[in-house]
Amino acid sequence: MKKFKINKSLKDNLLTYGMVILAYLIMQILIGTGNVSSLMQGLLVPLCVYVILAVSLNLTVGILGELSLGHAGFMCVGAFTGAFFSKCMQDVITFSLLRFILAIVIGAVAAGIIGFLIGMPVLRLRGDYLAIVTLAFGEIIKNIINVLYIGKDSKGFHFSLKDSLSLGLEEGGTVIINGAQGITGTPKDATFTMGIILIILTLIIVLNLIHSRDGRAIMSIRDNLIASESVGINITKYKLMAFSISAALAGVAGVLYAHNLSSLMATPKNFGYNMSIMILVFVVLGGIGNIRGSIISAVILTLLPELLRGLSNYRMLIYSIILIAMMLFNWSPKFIHLREKYSLKRLIRKNKEVQ
Amino acid sequence: MKKFKKVMSLLLVAAMIALVGCGNSNGSAQTGTTDNAAGTESAGDASAAEENAPAQAADGEVFKIGAIGPSTGSAAVYGLAVQNGADLAIKEINEAGGINGTLIEYNFQDDECDNEKSVNAYNTLKDWGMQMLVGTTTSGCCIAVAAESANDNMFQITPSGSSVDIINNNDNVYQVCFTDPNQGVGAAQYIGENAVAQKVAVIYDSSDVYSSGIYEKFVQEAANQSFEIVSAEAFTADNKTDFSVQLQKAKDAGAELVFLPIYYTEASLILTQANAMDFAPKFFGCDGLDGILNVENFDTALAEGVMLLTPFAADAEDEATQSFVSAYVAAYGDTPNQFAADAYDAVYILKAAIEKSGAAPSDSVSDLCEKLKGAMGEITVDGLTGEAMSWDADGAVNKAPKAMEIVNGNYSLIQ
C-alpha cells in the first residue's frame, strides 16, 4: 500500500485550521466551566474581527504585493450596509441567524463591489502611489458616511446629505443612518461561534486562492510584473481579483463588528486611517504573506492593551514600547540570527548529535 | 561595545516581558483580590487607599462603584475630569463614614473614546466586581455600554452622556446632564422668549453627536420662535481650525447672534477669527462652552458678553461650588469643569438613591438596580449642577437650565 503523503503546504494549512479550531475548543471549554472573565468574553468577537481583517489584508499586501492603507474603508462599507440591512429587517426577519447571514452576504458583496470599482483605476498605480490613493479613499468613505442621512417611513426611504431634518419624514418615520451619530440599535447578532466560522471561511477562501492556479498567477505579478505579463497573464484581472476578494472579506469583518456593538459610528478611531495602519501592523508583525502569523499577531496586539489595564495611565506607552520590541525581536536581522543560534530546534538537534 | 549593545537589548526585552507578565497577573487577579488594581487606577489616591484598607476585606462589605471615560487621546480632558470629580466625591463620602456606614471602593477605566474599548472597560469593571456604574463620559460610548448594562441590569448613571439614545429603551440608565434635545430646545426658547436677537446663525460640528443633536432640535424649535435662522454652517472633526468661511457666511447673512453648540476649544478659535474680521455679533453657546476662559493663549476679553446655557460655572459664588472648586484644586491642581461637577453630583445622587432604597452591598447587581430604580423616582437632589434635580422613569433629569453671561472675565448668572 502506498503511504499517504502529506505535502508541505497541506501540512501548513492544516496547522493553521487546527490552531483556530483548537483555540475555539479551548475557549468553549473554559467558558463552559466558567473560567473566563467578562472582559475576555467581550473580547472574543472583536478578536475574530481583527483576525479576519489581518488575513484579508495579507491577501493584498502579502500575496498581491500592493500596499493598501484603505482597509478600514472597506470594513466601514461592510459594517454600515450590514447594519443598515439588519436594522431595516429587524421586524421582518425575526430569526436572527438567518438575518445575520444575509447581512454578512450583503456586507461582503457591497464591500467587494466598492473594492472592484476602486480597484479599477487605482490598481494601475504602484507602490507609494497606490498606498496614498487607498488612504484617501478610506477617509472619503468615512466622511461620506458621516454626512449621510437615511430615514424610512411608510412612503419608503429618504436620503439626505445635509441633516436629518431635511429628510422630510412623516410622523412615525425612523432615521436609520443619522449622519455622524451613525446607526444605533443594531441587533447584537454576532457570536463567538459565528466569528470562528467566518474566520475558517476566510481562511478557506484565502488559502485555497493562494494555492490555486489563480493564486500562483497573482504571486507571479508580485514577484515580477514584466515576466508574468510576458507569459500572457492577465495582470488587471488578477490584481482586481485579489483586491476585491480582500475588500469583500474586510466587509465581512465589518458586519461582524457592527453586530457586536449597539451603536455604530464612523469615527477616526474605528474606521479612519489609524485603523488601516493598525491592520497593516498586524500583517507586518505576523510576517508579510504569512497567514498564520497574521492571525497570531492580530490576537496578541488586540489583547495586549486590555491586558495592560493594570498599568493604568502608562498603558498606551508600554503598549507602544512592547510593539517596538516585538517588531525588533521578530524582524531585526541581528535578532533573527540570535534566534537561529539559540533556537529550540537547534538545541534539540545538538543534543541528538551528542547522543 | 558590541557585546554591551547585545546585553542591553536583551535586558530591555527581558524588562518588556516582565512588564507583560505584570499586566497579565493584574488582569487575571482582578476577579479575586482587587485592592492593587483599585489603588493604581485613581491617580493621587494614596490616602484614600489607606483609608479603604480595612474595608477591602471581601465582596459584599463595600459598594463597588466603577467609572469609565477617556483618560488618553483627544477627549482625555473630559474623562480625567469625570475620574477626578467622582474620586473627590467618593473620598468625601468615605471620610464621612460612607453610605449608611458602608464604604465605597472606586475603579476608573480608560475607554480612549472608542465604543469598542468602552465595552471592554465595562467588562473589566464587571470582573472587578462593580455594582454600579458612573459613566460613561462621552455619548457615543455610552450608547454602546448602556446596551450591555441593560443586558446585565446594572444600575448606570452617566454624568455627561447626553444623547437620547442612551436612555431610550434602557430603564436602568439615568443622566445627570440634560439630553441634547433639551439643550437645543432650551437655547431656542431662551433666545426667542428674551428676544436676544432676530437673525441667528449657527456653526456646529456635524461629526459630533453632541453638537449635531443640539443643532437639530434648535432648528426645530426655532420654527416656533420669533427669530429666524439665516445661516447654518457645519464643520467636522477633521477641519476645525479655520472658520473664516462659516463666519463670513454668517456675517453676509446679517446675523445678530451666532449660536455655537460646540466645545470650547473650537469656540475660542471662532471668537478670535470673528474678531479678526470685525464681525461682532452676540455669541450664544451650551454647556460645551464652559471652560472657554481657561483656554491657553486666548484673549478672554473676546469672550466678553458671550452667553451660555450651562449647569455649572467654577466661578459661581454659592458655598457648595466654592468648597468643591477649592477641594478639587487642592487635590488635582486644576480648575474643575462641568464634567467634573457632573461626576461629583452623580456619586452623590447614587448615595441619595442608596440611602432612600436601603440597598445593601450584599445585594446582587440586579437587585441593587431594581431598588435604585425605585428610589430614583422619589429622590430630589441639590447638587452643583442644579437644584432639586429629579428623574422621570425614562432616566432624563428635570432641572432648570441656567443662563450665564461672561462679564468682566467671569461667569455671572443671568436672572
**A259-271, pLDDT tens digit by residue?**
998 888 888 888 9
> Is residue A35 predicted with pLDDT exceeding 90?
no
Contacts of B23 in chain A (CB under 8 A): 304, 307-311, 318
Q: Domains in chain B, please, with CATH?
A: 31-177+334-395 (3.40.50.2300), 181-310 (3.40.50.2300)
Q: List the grid coordinates of B90.
A: 467618593
pLDDT in tens, chain B (415 residues): 455 555 555 555 555 444 443 433 333 333 333 333 333 333 333 333 333 434 444 455 899 999 999 988 777 888 999 999 999 999 999 999 888 888 999 999 988 888 889 999 999 999 999 999 998 888 888 988 998 999 899 999 999 888 888 888 788 999 998 888 888 888 888 888 888 888 999 999 887 778 888 888 898 888 888 888 998 888 887 778 889 999 999 999 989 999 999 888 888 899 999 999 988 899 998 877 877 777 778 888 888 888 888 888 777 778 888 899 999 999 998 888 888 999 999 999 999 999 998 888 888 899 999 999 989 988 999 888 888 888 888 888 888 777 888 888 777 777 6
CB contact under 8 A, A265 and B24: no
A317–chain B Cβ distance below 8 A for any pair: no
pLDDT for position A224? 92
Contacts of B143 in chain A (CB under 8 A): 184, 262-263
Overall number of domains in chain A: 1
pLDDT for position B7? 53
pLDDT for position A79? 96
From CA B311, how far away is CA B177, in angstroms rounded?
8
Residue A299 belongs to some domain of the structure = no
> Is residue A318 predicted with pLDDT exceeding 70?
yes
Contacts of B20 in chain A (CB under 8 A): 304, 307-308, 322
Query: Could you tell me the residue range of the domain that residue A57 belongs to?
Result: 45-290
Contacts of A322 in chain B (CB under 8 A): 16, 19-20
B215–chain A Cβ distance below 8 A for any pair: yes
Question: Would you say the pTM of this structure is higher than 0.95?
Answer: no
In contact, B171 and B393? CB cutoff 8 Å:
yes
CB contact under 8 A, A42 and B120: yes
- Residue of B31, B113, B206, B217 to mutate when probing chain A, most A C-beta within 10 A: B206
Contact partners, residue B393, CB within 8 Å, separation at least 6: B171, B377
Residue A37 belongs to some domain of the structure = no
CB contact under 8 A, B140 and A263: yes
> How far off is chain A from B100, nearest CA to CA, in Å?
30
* Partner residues linked to B318 by β-bridges: none
Residue A135 belongs to some domain of the structure = yes
B247–chain A Cβ distance below 8 A for any pair: no
pLDDT for position A231? 93
Contacts of A315 in chain B (CB under 8 A): 72, 110
CB contact under 8 A, A39 and B124: yes
pLDDT band at A80 (very low <50, low <70, confident <90, very high): very high
Residue A338 belongs to some domain of the structure = no
Considering only residues A199 and B184, tell me which one the structure prediction assigns the higher pLDDT: A199
pLDDT for position B132? 92
> How far off is chain A from B294, nearest CA to CA, in Å?
24
CB contact under 8 A, A181 and B209: yes
CB contact under 8 A, A310 and B28: no
Residue A130 belongs to some domain of the structure = yes
A321–chain B Cβ distance below 8 A for any pair: yes
Contacts of A311 in chain B (CB under 8 A): 19, 22-23, 26, 40
pLDDT band at A104 (very low <50, low <70, confident <90, very high): very high
For CA atoms B127, B130, B132, B136, the dihedral sign is negative
CB contact under 8 A, A270 and B115: yes
pLDDT for position A342? 80
pLDDT for position B345? 93
Q: Report the 10 Å Cβ neighbour count for A15.
A: 10
CB contact under 8 A, A39 and B123: yes
Contacts of A263 in chain B (CB under 8 A): 115, 140, 143-144, 147, 165
Residue A347 belongs to some domain of the structure = no
3-state secondary structure chain B: CHHHHHHHHHHHHHHHHHHHHHHHHHHHHCCCCCHHHHHHHCCCCHHHHHHHHHHHCCCCCCEEEEEEECCCCCCHHHHHHHHHHHHHHHHHHHHCCCECCECEEEEEEECCCCHHHHHHHHHHHHHHCCCEEECCCCHHHHHHHHHHHHHHCCEEEECCCCCHHHCCCCCCEEECCCCHHHHHHHHHHHHHHCCCCCEEEEEEECCCHHHHHHHHHHHHHHCCCCCEEEEEEEECCCCCCCCHHHHHHHHHCCCCEEEECCCHHHHHHHHHHHHHCCCCCEEEECHHHCCHHHCCCCCHHHHCCCEEECCCCCCCCCHHHHHHHHHHHHHHCCCCCHHHHHHHHHHHHHHHHHHHHCCCCCCCHHHHHHHHHHHHCCCCEEECCEEEEEECCCCCEECCCCEEEEECCEEEECC
From CA A47, how far away is CA B207, in angstroms rounded?
28
Q: What backbone phi and psi angles, to 5 degrees, belong to B349?
A: -65, -45
Query: Mean pLDDT over residues A197-201, rounded?
Result: 96
pLDDT by residue (tens digit) across A143-164? 899 888 898 888 888 888 877 7
Query: Mean pLDDT over residues A119-130, rounded?
Result: 85
At residue A98, what is the residue type? Answer: L
CB contact under 8 A, B115 and A261: yes
pLDDT for position B336? 86
Contacts of B13 in chain A (CB under 8 A): 325, 329
pLDDT for position B60? 58
A35–chain B Cβ distance below 8 A for any pair: no
> How far off is chain A from B196, nearest CA to CA, in Å?
25
Contacts of B124 in chain A (CB under 8 A): 38-39, 306, 309
Closest Cβ opposite residue A311 in set B23, B165, B213: B23
CB contact under 8 A, B126 and A38: yes
Contacts of B43 in chain A (CB under 8 A): 312-313
Strands B381-383 and B386-391, sheet pairing: antiparallel
B100–chain A Cβ distance below 8 A for any pair: no
CB contact under 8 A, B110 and A308: no
pLDDT for position A172? 75
ipTM comes to 0.84
A148–chain B Cβ distance below 8 A for any pair: no
